[in-house]
Structure 1
Amino acid sequence: MIFTLGINHHSAPLAIRERVAFGGEKLPHALADLMRSQPVREVAILSTCNRTEIYCAAETPEMVIDWLSRYHQVARGELAPYLYTHDQPAAIRHAFRVASGLDSMVIGEPQILGQMKDAVRAAEQSGTLGAQLHKLFQRSFSVAKEVRSTTAIGANIVSMAAAAVHLAERIFESIEEQRIIFIGAGEMIELCAAHFCARQPKGVTIANRTLERGRGLAERYQGTAIRLDDLAEHLARHDIVVSCTAAPLPIIGLGMVERAVKVRRHRPMFMVDLAVPRDIEQEVGDLDDVFLYTVDDLAQVVESGLESRQAAVIEAEAIINHRVADFLGWLSARDTVPVIRSLRDSAERMRRHELEHAMKLLARGEAPEKVVEQLSQRLTNKFLHAPTQTLNLAEGGDRSALQLAASRLFHLHPGD
């Protein structure tokens, strides 16, 4: 049975989401720990700024919920009001909707597909992805491609990065006159850099733990790179701060920002924290002259574009419903595989036995025509002996059911 359980921006506030997030470096350990400590056959973990979800093949999700609570040291009772659990077929539909961007804060946004592929890659490398989840995710990617290519779900999309630019332009008359510092160098920062730098800001700085990676991104926008450890001494020079790292604790504290504001002589500072857990301490938002926005705040900006995409959403849901039925058919077919394999093995043993018998007859000089005729008769009798005997011994309703099954299995038309 395939299960999905987790929390997302629909079910839980940021304060809860950040407590159960998995940083990229934690995923291999978490996957191994879950497989080792719980009766789970397959598992993958998707953790983004908007969701933490566990996809697993198991008998029940209850033990996995206990593990999630224990791993993050969050009481189950505290987590329970925000947690959702899906089993088949809802779990399959949920995976397809997530991959297609229908469950995102920004309907139709494409970044979630890449994040889902990263989650699958991590599970593959950790050896926790089996046949069922592998097929589920491959179908999810296929469905996402179909939705994006046959509907207008991605048309005129308002991304989180574009929303951040929109908010910044409410604070400053022109971004061209502002200096921007991007903290981190991951995919979300790259997207934000592309959107902000399209406005040709006065200066661009990339702060990253790995200076070499920061330089690579900075060179694209004629900016400079600094080490994250040097952030405090550079912060005051920047008007716009966009942060998205995988740090487990805030990297920008209240004191650091207070000192920067003082140096800036209270010129406004616009800050966007796209990280989960948060990179910027929540109290920073209470400072005068600081405008701090989180991923949940950006939702109010992107919500305005939702209505225009509703028609595309209806089309996408129809596609997903159809593909869910296909996948359920594949799962059902897997249940018959052991029986089919056993049937073929039995037939193969009969074939080999009769072939050996026929070869002995030919070696003794028997006429080939006679041997072939006997071989075909003996094979036919052996293949049909067990089903014929079962039909003859059956009674009442069992006989009727077996007769119907035999007619369907062998495409028989009694009475013709």
Structure 2
Amino acid sequence: MRLLVTADIHLGAPIRSAALRNPVLGASLRQASRDSLSDIVALAISERVDVLVLAGDVFDSAEPDLKIRAFLIAQLARAAAAGVETVLIRGNHDALLDHAAQGALGPKIHLLERARPTVEIGGVAFHGLSFERGHQQASFLPDYPPPSPGRRNVGLMHTSLEGAPGHDPYAPCAEAALMAQGYNLWCLGHIHAPFARRAGDVLAVMPGIPQPRHFGERHGGSVALVTLGEGPPELVWHPVARLRFVEARPDLSGCADQSERAQAVRDALLAAQSPAQETALRLTLASAKQSEAELAALAAALCEDVDQVHIDKLRRIDPPRAPGTAAQTDDLIRLMRAETAEPGFRQAAREILAELRQALPREIAEDLAETALDDLLSAALGEVSAELHRDAARPEDG
């Protein structure tokens, strides 16, 4: 049996953070999430897979737009018409979603939940439990059915496993216990970076988010094609992301004038182009004198003539300085940097970030995740350093 495994599609995600910074990028990201699902279904059909597995968080919330739901049903109907069955579970985002509210999902589409945790397709038993509330702190594993005797067994689970940076502990589960359940294959969701684990003949695969929505998810963008035969499951990764996230760090400190600075930024934009994908670019520009606003205006104007590239974020940093240059201000920055490394300071900063995340919409709050603390502090110190050095910086033309 051949299975195409994906999860965390997050249809209907508002993409607020990117859209506030760049409305064109926000619109491209919304479309990319839909297009990637179309590509996943097309891949399932072209690869003649038997089952498409959706391991939770198909939707971004329990109240999806009816147009988005209709889009999902249309895509799964395409798969069903080609003989591809779909097995899915609800994750923490779509935990309360009533899939039957507007009628049945359709033929050959199987939602696994506590009332119906197992379905058999082609002699393979699929087992899964859906989230029934948004935050599940206990492991689901003890409630999973035992393996069906005489069958290959596949489990679907939405879980943080033993924890991952940037992910809250949802339905935590010890990896060793998971692999000892007696199933041949585990199809997992929730963690947006893909990975696979093997223990003997057992495979557990976390396909990751198929279409990344922000820079923190840049390692996603794939789905897993699994062949389930008599031996160990075979795994092949397939890229499906329509839009990728890339970082570039041009150093403009050696540029003699505005023309040279523009060329350096243009070169970074052109280097980010991809013939197969759109690109969301995070630019970090080293410049001694120009402000972040000036550099942002320059980059935005240049980007208008570079197809398929969108500026996601731009920040200015202070370039490296020769020894002895502006020693007094540099000493102050070193002291500030040392202070930001102190445990007490970092704990206070984490508490402030937590308060801000509670007050902001979830999509925007993702930019203030605890894992972003070092980047936020570095950006703040860079701005302070720029102001302190501005008068001491060497003159620049233009």
TM-score (norm 2): 0.31
Which of structures 1 and 2 has the bigger CA Rg? Answer: 1
TM-score (norm 1): 0.30
Structure with more strand by fraction: 2
Structure with more helix by fraction: 1
